[in-house]
Amino acid sequence: MELGIIGLGKMGGNIALNAIEKNIRVVGKATGPKPELSAKGVNVVSDLNDLVNSLKVPRVIYLSLPAGPVVDSVLEELVPLLKKGDVILDGGNSFFRDSIRREEELSKKGIFFLDCGTSGGMEGARNGACFMVGGKPEGFRIAEPVLKALSTEGGLIHTGKPGSGHFVKLVHNGIEFGMLQSIGEGVALLEGSGFELELADVFKNWSCGSVIRGWLVELMEKGLREQKGLSSIPGYVEDTGEVNWLIHEAIEMEIPAPVITQSVMELFKSREKQSTSAKAIALMRHGFGGHPFGKDDYISKERKTSRITKV
């Protein structure tokens, strides 16, 4: 098996290493050298022609890029180099309506475009991700062996028609926001209780058989131990804005989503005042996705540009 990867950052680089360990030949495009990947067997190139010419037909190429105009820019350069039957996977958090448009455009050229919602953070990318894939069944069948090898057990689903993969991932991210907010509020309650509680030990206990056990609870324990509490964590929660899109969709569908909506409102509050719950949320987001502590101008800009289609 072979895989082309465009974008060898936190997610793309870890997917590349995951693939190498699964005996998948990887050609990755990056803007500069990646010696840590080259040393592991990733063929790192700086030119799209080199990437395309290094892969056998039908090619499977995974985009690990920020959502928004950069995806269209790369597609504009990449597609003329491909042949009918090649497959492009958009593994970023693109707006699902943008993915529907892109699939329609590429389908006319005989290129399969799959919207590949990718979850599991950097750890999942490295050791076994969760993929939610929308697009034509013929394209999915071509990419399926590679995706199955890169996913954790049970972590690959073909969700159906184009756009469905990124929509399912969007709903996933909304649920994630609600869970983060709930855990953050729990931390605030524990810290303000007046009891002398060792928070990391409490979250360790909750990871062992409790009803709320799960990865976010585990990340809370891990982060508390690594950061020695929350005092050094800024209470400003940065995000790229995808869950805002989901709230718009809920309004259009007239489906109530009060918990997800309120979790976004609480995130906005974090930008005005410091709170324990916001610090806890920032700690968990850093744990699963490497999201920054505090304000980040690049991500703030991405929040405004990552969704192209407005209706």
Catalytic residue among 29, 34, 103, 176: 176
Q: 169 catalytic, yes or no?
A: yes
Q: 176 catalytic, yes or no?
A: yes
Catalytic residue among 29, 34, 169, 279: 169
Reduce the secondary structure of the chain to three states and give it as a string. CEEEEECCCHHHHHHHHHHHHCCCEEEEECCCCCHHHHCCCCEEECCHHHHHHCCCCCCEEEECCCCCHHHHHHHHHHHHHCCCCCEEEECCCCCHHHHHHHHHHHHCCCCEEEEEEEECHHHHHHHCEEEEEECCHHHHHHHHHHHHHHEEEEEEEEEECCCHHHHHHHHHHHHHHHHHHHHHHHHHHHHCCCCCCCHHHHHHHHCCCCCCCCHHHHHHHHHHHHHCCCCCCCCCCCCCCHHHHHHHHHHHHCCCCHHHHHHHHHHHHCCCCCCHHHHHHHHHHHHHHCCCCCCCHHHHHHHHHCCCCCC
Catalytic residues: 169, 176
